[in-house]
């Protein structure tokens, strides 16, 4: 029998030699489990929760009219019927026909018509021709002494023209105010080339003067039996009733006529 078997069931003999005892450490404190920041179901970070104010306690302030955004107005649905569409098409056709008719050339229509001499005329006496002859002779003598022969021919031509206009009475012409303009005999002056008009009197005859954009620059018509107020009313619809200021040539002619009157009865 061995020693181990001998001591089986009995306390083993104590030996004075003991094994070294390991020091025991204090138990570690339990680890607290912190909740995970990521939701395992949604796999997302939780959103911060804000305090919601109940509706009854939330302050309500009315919006100012200027801060309110304008609401877009939705046009009502169209209720045009086939009859309204036909009426609109007919109106468009009428407008087109009217505009086409307005753009068509219209025939010339006479507004006023009268017969009068082509220019103011007065029969001259002997004194007039004598005065004109003396003036022409003196001017020609001065130019001859100065050696200016060409101006002498010009003076003689002007004197002859003045004699013809004073000796030969004018012919009668028909003056018309039409929708195109003013027609005197066979000459037509369109409204687009006419300017201002004014009235005057010469040789006891009433005249109307009209500015023209071409020769003779001023159109002079004798009224004769035509009423001046009626003519002024017709011309005022298109032209301006205003007398322009006198130019340098007109002022010189007026001064010469006042200083050297060729006819005392003119």
- Please write the tens of the pLDDT for every residue from 95-121: 656 665 566 678 889 999 999 999 998
Write down the mean pLDDT value for the chain. 76
Residue 41 lies in a domain: no
Q: How confident is the model at residue 252 (pLDDT cuts 50, 70, 90)?
A: confident
What percent of the chain is predicted at pLDDT more than 90?
34
Residue 140 lies in a domain: yes
| pLDDT at site 128 | 83
Contact between residue 214 and residue 192 where contact means Cβ atoms under 8 Å apart: no
Q: How far apart are CA 122 and CA 222, in angstroms?
A: 13
Residue 207 lies in a domain: yes
Residue 224 lies in a domain: yes
What CATH number has the domain bearing residue 174?
A: 2.30.29
Residue 45 lies in a domain: no
Structural domain including 253 reads 110-259
Average pLDDT value for residue range 46-68: 52
What H or E segment, with its residue span, contains residue 174? strand 172-178
| pLDDT at site 20 | 54
Residue 37 lies in a domain: no
Residue 70 lies in a domain: no
- Number of domains composing the chain: 1
Residue 52 lies in a domain: no
166-223 pLDDT, tens digit per residue, is 888 999 999 999 999 999 988 999 999 999 999 999 888 999 999 999 888 899 999 9
């Amino acid at each position: 029998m061995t020693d181990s078997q001998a001591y089986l069931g009995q306390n083993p003999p104590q030996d004075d030699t003991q094994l070294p005892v390991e020091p025991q450490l204090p138990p570690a404190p339990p680890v607290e489990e912190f909740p995970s920041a990521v939701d395992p179901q949604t796999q997302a970070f939780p959103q911060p929760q804000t305090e919601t104010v109940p509706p009854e306690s939330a302050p309500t302030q009315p919006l100012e009219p200027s801060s309110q955004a304008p609401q877009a107005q939705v046009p009502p649905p169209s209720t045009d019927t086939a009859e309204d569409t036909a009426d609109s098409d007919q109106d468009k056709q009428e407008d087109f026909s009217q505009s086409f008719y307005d753009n068509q050339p219209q025939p010339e229509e006479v507004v006023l018509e009268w017969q009068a001499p082509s220019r103011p005329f007065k029969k001259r006496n002997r004194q007039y021709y004598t005065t004109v002859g003396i003036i022409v002779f003196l001017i020609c003598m001065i130019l001859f002494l100065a050696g200016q022969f060409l101006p002498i021919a010009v003076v003689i031509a002007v004197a002859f023209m003045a004699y013809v206009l004073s000796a030969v009475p004018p012919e009668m012409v028909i003056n018309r105010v039409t929708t195109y303009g003013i027609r005197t005999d066979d000459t037509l002056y369109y409204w687009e080339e006419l300017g201002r008009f004014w009235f005057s009197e010469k040789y006891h005859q009433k005249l109307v003067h009209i500015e023209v954009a071409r020769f003779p620059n001023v159109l002079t018509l004798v009224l004769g039996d035509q009423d001046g107020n009626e003519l002024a009313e017709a011309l005022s619809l298109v032209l301006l009733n205003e007398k322009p200021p006198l130019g340098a040539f007109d002022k010189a002619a007026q001064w010469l006529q006042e200083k050297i009157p060729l006819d005392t009865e003119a």
